[in-house]
Chains A and B, each alone.
Chain A
């Protein structure tokens, strides 16, 4: 297991917290909450070691499109980058619904 932390400048306010996914094979759990400090913070716990650069790429791309002012916690159980992106978008959509 590895833990990563990321920070991004953010500009889109989210209305409410959102929870999506499950810590099951090939999937991940995301907890997204509005952040008070105007930034985006992401904490990743992943069962698969050695993928730090991939996480950075996936999150860079996500926040370039959706700079959500949010604290995001990810519990990953081997999700592919595509799955991670879909779950992030799902959480973002739910937080703005």
Chain B
């Protein structure tokens, strides 16, 4: 698209990443023609727990594991399908991601620098699988921490589900986190907060308010997201490549304990904090998104 194009023309020229399925997203991130799915739907490795609870399973349990290449280097994309059960992490879905991360770790230990990318579209633990889902998320987190000693673990949150619960902690462990403005990143989702603390605490139907608190633009402005990108498949694939070119950060976000403790200490819980105020307190004063 040439530089003289109008904003509308540029918008129409974009290929939305948000609208793609998990499988299509993995394909977009990998080098063209290199996509090869592991444990795909025909392997029928679905959740054994859902049918017992009268819930229709999906044959890949909502997780696509794809081997391929990124800038010619071996890579693995682990993409969560947000349309299936809210992208929730059950026993099988979580084990697929953990095993992919473990195999990438083994590769790296043996000198093959396999690049891991997580496409996070998840409400967190799958409540129907309870402790098994929680254990799976803990395993994913441990696998990320083990792998990031060798190679950046790159996370992408595109939306519109966002990334919540235990998986938001997994996102926080990533070496580089890429998000769109449509993305959301947080521990409890807005509906949960409204239900538990009341509508005076948070009106979950107020989209402007919700995104001002946990939207991709806000999370980038306060330093919890590294790259803010448009909802454009090429832009997201480019941001993933750039993250691997940059390499490992000097210190991972989750290693900067003193910094974040200082940030928390600066917050007065008696004051009702809002998004713009938090940007002033923690961020770059709202210069981004």
A22 with B41: CB separation less than 8 A: no
Flag if B42 contacts A75 (CB, 8 Å): no
Is there an interface contact between B55 and A22, defined as CB atoms closer than 8 Å?
A: no
In the complex, the answer to whether B83 meets A25 with C-beta atoms within 8 Å is yes
Binds A, one of B56-64, B147-155, B200-208: B56-64
Sample of 11 A–B contacts (CB below 8 Å) = A1-B55, A1-B56, A22-B84, A23-B56, A23-B58, A24-B83, A31-B59, A45-B51, A45-B56, A47-B56, A73-B59
Q: Is the interface of B mostly helix, strand, loop or mixed?
A: loop
Give bound CA distance, A70 to B59, whole Å: 18
Q: Is the CB of A19 within 8 A of B84?
A: no
Chain B, residue nearest A26 (CB)? B83
Inside 8 A of B40's CB, which chain A residues have their CB? 19
User: Closest CB of chain B to A52's CB: distance in Å?
Assistant: 15
Question: Which B44-103 residues have C-beta < 8 A from chain A?
Answer: 51, 54-59, 81, 83-85
- In the assembled complex, B108 has its CB within 8 A of some CB on chain A: no
Query: Considering only CB atoms, which chain B residue lies closest to A78 in the complex?
Result: B56
Cβ B58 vs Cβ A22 within 8 A: yes
| A25 to B58 Cα, complex, angstroms | 13
Is B21 close to A, CB under 8 A? yes
* Contact assessment for B42 and A1 in the assembled complex, using a CB-CB cutoff below 8 Å: no
CB-CB nearest in chain A for B22: A22
- Count A-side interface residues using an 8 Å CB cutoff: 18
- Chain B residue numbers with a CB within 8 Å of A17 are 42
Q: Is the CB of A29 within 8 A of B42?
A: no
Q: Is the CB of A27 within 8 A of B83?
A: yes
Contacts A22-B58, A45-B51 aside, 6 further interface pairs with beta carbons under 8 A come to: A17-B42, A23-B85, A45-B56, A47-B56, A73-B59, A75-B57
Task: Flag A1-21 by CB within 8 Å of B: 1 or 0 each.
Answer: 100000000000000010100
Shortest B122–chain A CB gap in Å is 14
Q: B51: which A residues are within 8 A, CB to CB?
A: 1, 45
State in angstroms the CA–CA spacing of A22 and B56 once bound together: 11
Q: Known A17-B42, A19-B40, A31-B41; judge A46-B56 contact (CB<8 A).
A: yes
A44: nearest chain-B partner, CB-CB: B56
Q: Report the separation of the CA atoms of residues A76 and B58 in the bound assembly, to the nearest whole angstrom.
A: 9
Docked Cα-Cα span, A45 to B5, in Å, equals 48
CB pair A22 B81 closer than 8 Å: yes
Verify A19–B42 contact, CB threshold 8 A. yes
| Known contacts A1-B54, A29-B59, A75-B58, A24 near B42 by CB under 8 Å | no
B88 to chain A, nearest CB (A): 12
Fill in one digit per residue for A44-76: 1 if any B CB lies within 8 Å of its CB, else 0.
011100000000000000000000000001011
Most buried by B among A17, A23, A46: A23
Complex contacts, A27 vs chain B, CB 8 Å? 83
CA distance A73 to B46 in the complex (A): 13
Chain B's nearest CB lies how many Å from the CB of A5?
A: 15
Task: Give the distance in Å from the alpha carbon of A19 to the alpha carbon of B21 in the complex.
Answer: 13
Minimal Cβ-Cβ distance residue in A for B37: A19
Q: Select one of A22, A31, A73, A76 contacting B21, CB under 8 A.
A: A22
Minimum CB distance partner of B81 in chain A = A22
Q: Bound state CA distance, A1 and B54, in angstroms?
A: 5
Q: Which of B11-63 contact A (CB under 8 A)?
A: 21, 40-42, 51, 54-59
A46 to B190, CA, bound (A): 30
B155 nearest CB across to chain A (Å):
22
User: Closest residue of chain A to B84, judged by CB?
Assistant: A23
Residues of chain A within 8 A (CB-CB) of B85 are: 23
Q: How far is the CA of A22 from the CA of B81 in the complex (A)?
A: 8
